[in-house]
């Protein structure tokens, strides 16, 4: 699935650094993005990078590295992904994704982890887990270790799950859409996914049928080793000094309630309800900050 995610991101104009320890085998050709039998025996990262470079503009940087993330030291891995804007963990091995989860935490990079499910009673095709380490003090929801605890047992080898290539592409397409939504900060998709992440809906389940997506709120575990060492896991409690824009909005709501009560008595009930709703948004930390409001006004004015 990682090869199809890489292909979709490359076609969208992203620069890519591909890391894989395996080599291309005949068994991979049925569902891998690389289908050239002449590349059998080549490292997967090199073969995929070569194919993608042939399909995108020359100036678009796409690199492939044959490497084992489990064997890399933290400085080596941090040096590789330190300049990235986002990390996608699509190895199929929990041990690798645990390492990537901690590196993304230390570098404050968003992490997206897609997974395919085997045969199961609930008829779930796969899932996409988004860990917004870049949100720092605002981060909510579970990280990778919250949902999949590390174990001392040797990890099972990553084998391809039974199923058609269309199922792989379906989960890969959702993954690419989420990645692009996180990268394009001035898009409606970015605002939509950030609203989900702000309410801890960081886990997307993909049913086998019908082809829909369900966002699930996933709370962080109290005893999670990764989250407990991150000082930004606790959500900040809003106070009256959280930002000038919020104080002005609360004051304006209170003044309008008094004004309508004096001028038009019939509207004081409606303004009171509006004021209570405004206070509720402020209490839940849903009102925009001063910088966010200024950026929204500038974007609106520039669009005019």
| Residue 303's pLDDT band (cuts 50, 70, 90) | low
CATH number for position 141: 3.40.50.720
Structure tokens at 204: 């997307």
Are 69 and 95 contacting, i.e. CB atoms less than 8 angstroms apart?
Answer: no
Given 228, 263, 284, which residue is the final one in a domain? 228
Are 7 and 33 contacting, i.e. CB atoms less than 8 angstroms apart?
Answer: yes
Q: What is the pLDDT of residue 228?
A: 77
The three state secondary structure string of 2-42 is HHHHHHHHHHCCCCEEEEECCECCHHHCCCCCCCCHHHCCC
- To the nearest whole number, what is the mean pLDDT of the chain? 83
Domain that residue 94 falls in: 68-228
Q: What is the pLDDT of residue 262?
A: 67
Q: What is the pLDDT of residue 3?
A: 96
Q: Is residue 85 part of a domain?
A: yes
Q: What is the pLDDT of residue 210?
A: 80
Q: Is residue 138 part of a domain?
A: yes
Three-state DSSP at 119 gives coil
pLDDT, tens only, 206-262 = 998 887 888 888 888 888 989 877 644 333 333 434 456 666 766 777 777 667 666
Higher-pLDDT residue of 281, 30: 30
Q: Which of 83, 96, 112, 109 is nearest to 20 (CA)?
A: 96
Question: Could you tell me which residues come within 8 angstroms of residue 188 by beta carbon, excluding any fewer than 6 positions away?
Answer: none
Beta bridge pairs of residue 227? none
Round to whole Å and give the CA distance between 44 and 110: 24
Round to whole Å and give the CA distance between 155 and 151: 8
Q: What is the pLDDT of residue 266?
A: 64
Q: Are residues 92 and 185 part of one domain?
A: yes
Specify the length of the chain in residues: 304
Burial 179-206 (b: 16+ CB within 10 A, else e): bbbbbeeeeeeeeebbebbbebbbbbbb
pLDDT, tens only, 146-170 = 998 887 665 554 455 566 788 899 9
Beta strand ranges found along the chain (DSSP E): 16-20, 62-66, 87-88, 111-116, 124-131, 203-207, 214-216
Q: Are residues 256 and 222 part of one domain?
A: no
Q: Is residue 15 part of a domain?
A: no
pLDDT, tens only, 265-292 = 666 667 677 777 777 776 666 666 666 6
Mean pLDDT of 13-23: 96
């Amino acid at each position: 699935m990682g090869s199809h995610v890489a292909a979709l991101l490359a076609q969208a104009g992203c620069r890519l650094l591909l890391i894989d320890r395996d080599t291309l085998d005949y068994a991979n050709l049925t569902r891998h993005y690389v289908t050239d039998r002449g590349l059998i025996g080549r490292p997967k990262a090199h073969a995929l990078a070569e194919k993608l470079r042939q399909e995108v503009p020359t100036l678009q940087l796409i690199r492939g590295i044959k490497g084992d993330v489990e064997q890399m030291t933290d400085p080596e891995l941090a040096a590789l992904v330190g300049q990235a804007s986002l990390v996608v963990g699509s190895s199929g091995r929990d041990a690798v994704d645990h390492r990537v989860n901690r590196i993304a935490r230390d570098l404050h990079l968003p992490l997206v982890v897609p997974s395919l499910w085997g045969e199961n009673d609930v008829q779930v095709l796969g899932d996409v887990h988004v860990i917004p380490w870049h949100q720092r003090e605002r981060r909510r929801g579970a990280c990778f270790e919250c949902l999949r605890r590390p174990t001392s047992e040797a990890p099972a080898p990553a084998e391809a799950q039974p199923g058609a290539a269309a199922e792989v592409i379906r989960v890969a397409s959702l993954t690419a859409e989420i990645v692009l939504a996180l990268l394009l900060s001035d898009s409606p998709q970015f605002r939509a996914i950030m609203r989900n992440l702000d309410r801890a809906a960081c886990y997307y389940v993909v049913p086998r049928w019908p082809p829909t997506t369900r966002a699930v709120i996933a709370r962080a575990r109290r005893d999670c080793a990764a989250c407990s060492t991150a000082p930004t896991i606790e959500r900040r409690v809003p106070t009256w000094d959280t930002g000038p824009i919020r104080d002005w909005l609360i004051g304006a709501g209170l003044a309008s309630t008094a004004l309508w009560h004096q001028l038009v008595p019939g509207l004081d009930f409606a303004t009171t309800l509006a004021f209570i709703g405004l206070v509720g948004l402020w209490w839940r930390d849903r009102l925009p900050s001063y910088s966010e409001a200024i950026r929204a006004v500038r974007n609106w004015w520039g669009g005019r």
